[in-house]
Structures are given as C-alpha cells and as structure tokens.
Amino acid sequence: MAPLHKDLHLTAEFLAFLRGGFYSQVMLESAASRLNANFLNEDYVEGAHKAFEKIDGWLKELEDGMPLFSTSWSSPDTFDAINAMGLMRDLKRDILWFADLVDTALRTPNLVEDRESTKILAAGVLRSAAARLSYIETLSETFLNLKAPDRVQQFAAEIPEAKSFLQTANTIVDLFSNDNPYSPELCERLRVEASLVPSSMRAYAHDARVLLNIYSKEFSYELAEIPPQAAKPWLEMMVPAVAAGYWYAYNFTPQDYLRWASVGIRGAPLAAYWRRARFDPEDAVQWIQQGIPPMIAIEWARAGFDAGRTVAMLQRGITDPTKAPRNRDGEELP
C-alpha cells in the first residue's frame, strides 16, 4: 500500500489534536456540572460546540482526500487553514489557564475544607483522560478512513488503556459528586492522582505550539515559550526545543532528561509517572521492560520483590505480594 500522503497525515494530526482538546472542554464542563462546582463560566463550552462543527466538517473533507493543510505552503494559505490556526491558539490559551487553575488547587493545604479545589482536581483528572482518549480514537478512525492500516493499528492498541483511564476518572468524579463530607484519605489520594494534570496540560499546550509553527523554518526555544534563563541549560546540552518543551512541562531538568534518556526512557510522561511512584530511572526501566505499570510495581517493590521475580509471581496467578510463597524465615521461594 502506498504511504499516506504527508498533507493528509499533517491534517489528521492537527484535527485530531483540536478535536481532543475541545472534547476535553465539553467533558470538563460536564464534570463541573456533576460536581456542582463553580469554577467555569456559564458559556464556557459555547465555543467548543462551534468548533466541533468546523472540525467535523474538515475531517469529512479529509476523508474525501481534501487536506486542510499543505506542506508546500510557507504559511496558512486558505481561510479554513487560518481559522483552524485560530482555534488552536484559543485552545492553547484555555489549556494553560486550566493548568494554572489545577496547580493552585494542588497547593491547597486542606482539601477536605476547600471543596471547590477538590472538585477542580477531580474534574482535571477527567479532562486529561478525555483529551487523550478523544485524540487517540479520532486518529484511529481517521487513519482507518484514509486506508492507513499501520497507523490504525498503532493508535488502536492504545485505546483500551485510554478508555480504562477515562473510566477511572469518571469514578473519581462520582466519588466527589455528593454533599457528604470528604474523607481526608480520599482527598490526599486525589491530590496524588491529579498531581500530573498541570504538566500533562502544559505538554498538550506544547503540542499546540508545535502545530501552530508547522511553517516555521526552525522550532526555537522562543517558539516553545521557554523563558531564556530556563532555556539556557537545555541549549548548553544541545537538547532540541521540541524535546525540551515536553520535559520542561513535566518539571524535569536537563540533567534529569539525560539520566532518563540514558536508560532508554525518552518520553517525559512515562518518566513522570515513574518519578511520582518514587522510582529512579535505573530501577524504573527494569519494571518497564517487564511490562509492569508503576502502581503494581510500587506494591511489589515495597514487599521486597524485584521486577523479574514479580513477573514470575504474576504469571503464576499471584497478584498479592503478601501471598507470594516464602520460607519460614520470610525469604522468597522459587
């Protein structure tokens, strides 16, 4: 099968990103409503619904072989392309506003007493999950329509995990959607779960910057909107601005980046999840290679198991480390 034309590929990425972002706005409004929260304006999603009409129309044209963008241009060259760029700028501003809002909520000392901050965190987890799932599903469906099975397979493989994440996020919103007093333990668990939401939102905004500058000759640190003083150490280590933007969004230093990259972990979100679970890069990679996620790794590592031994236990159907076979001295048995 012939390779997918680069104009079609570029348009698919751009529109899937837009759709995911505006879908997350709608889901955020839904979460705020369920939570009876007050942090959104009444007309918050009005623009999102208008954007959907345009995006879905462009996706239909793309399916018919008419891309929104051309890689041969030097700048957006049609009214629709300029309009799409405007939507992307609007979305980026909203994402950064929301990242700051969640950051402020995370700094709340007592979430039990500050119910509005707690609701912001719960809604933030849902928004993050919704954006990811919509982006993946839209790309998978679009590439299916464009008869690009290799790309369909790539994104379709990520859908089950993304759906599970959204299901968990909906459960979290439900837990905080009542008038009962909030549990201190539950609030702190929410704080941990929401701790990466601002970073994921800022990484999403970085994606938007990259897409907004597809016609720039070079994606610079200035275009990445990394302040000069913060950009300096990244420049000195010759890390490209595109890569630095993602790691900067997750509050990694250039030294952190090099340490994680040295063990083969080049994705900032993956590194951030393992860092949140308090794993060093050298330890995390052992569990990653065995296909064990952070939350499971935490439990087994705390019980004294390494990654290889954990896999052996899981393959035997033992999912609780306290029930793994040991001798009378508490040592693991083969």
| pLDDT tens digits, 188-239 | 999 999 999 999 999 999 999 999 999 999 999 999 999 999 999 999 999 9
Tens of pLDDT along the chain (334 residues) come to 445 789 999 999 999 999 999 999 999 999 999 999 999 999 999 999 999 999 999 999 999 999 999 999 999 999 999 999 999 999 999 999 999 999 999 999 999 999 999 999 999 999 999 999 999 999 999 999 999 998 999 899 999 999 999 999 999 999 999 889 999 999 999 999 999 999 999 999 999 999 999 999 999 999 999 999 999 999 999 999 999 999 999 999 999 999 999 999 999 999 999 999 999 999 999 999 999 999 899 999 999 899 999 999 999 999 999 888 864 444 555 5
Domain assignment of residue 164, yes or no = yes
Dist. CA 118–CA 110, nearest whole Å = 9
Q: Tell me, what's the pLDDT at 1?
A: 42
Q: Is residue 206 part of a domain?
A: no
CA distance 119 to 109: 15
Residue 325: per-residue pLDDT: 82
**pLDDT at 324 (0 to 100):** 86
My answer on whether 26 and 172 are in the same domain is: yes
Domain interval for residue 292 = 279-334
Q: How many domains does the chain have?
A: 3
251 and 133, same structural domain?
no
The number of residues in the chain equals 334
Residues 94 and 15 in one domain: yes
pLDDT at 330: 45
* Neighbour-count burial for 162-171, b at 16+ CB within 10 Å, e otherwise: beebbeebbe
Indicate the SS3 state at residue 261: helix
Q: Clarify whether residues 138 and 238 are in a common domain.
A: no
Question: Do 297 and 253 have their domain in common?
Answer: no
Residue 207 belongs to some domain of the structure: no
Q: Which H or E run contains 13?
A: helix 6-35
CA-wise closest residue to 194 among 119, 133, 268: 119
The SS3 assignment for 259 reads helix
> How far is the C-alpha of 16 from the C-alpha of 12, rounded, in Å?
6
- Does residue 146 share a domain with residue 38? yes
Q: Are residues 50 and 138 in the same domain?
A: yes
**What pLDDT, on the 0 to 100 scale, is given for residue 20?**
98
Phi, psi of 264 (to 5 degrees): 95, 5
User: Is 203 domain-assigned?
Assistant: no
| Whether residue 43 is found in the same domain as residue 166 | yes
The verdict on residue 208 lying in a domain is no
Residue 291, in any domain of the structure: yes
pLDDT at 329: 42
The alpha-helical segments, DSSP class H, found in 108-253 are 115-145, 149-156, 159-175, 184-194, 197-212, 228-236, 241-249
Q: Are residues 186 and 272 in the same domain?
A: no
**Predicted structure pTM score:** 0.93
pLDDT at position 327, please? 43
In terms of domains, do 193 and 52 share one? yes
Report yes or no on 211 lying in a domain: no
The answer to whether residue 125 sits within a structural domain is yes
Among 169, 197, 225, give the residue marking a domain's end: 197
| Same structural domain, 27 and 112 | yes
Q: What pLDDT score was predicted for residue 181?
A: 93
Q: Which of 276, 294, 311 is the last residue of a domain?
A: 276
Whether 77 and 108 share a structural domain = yes
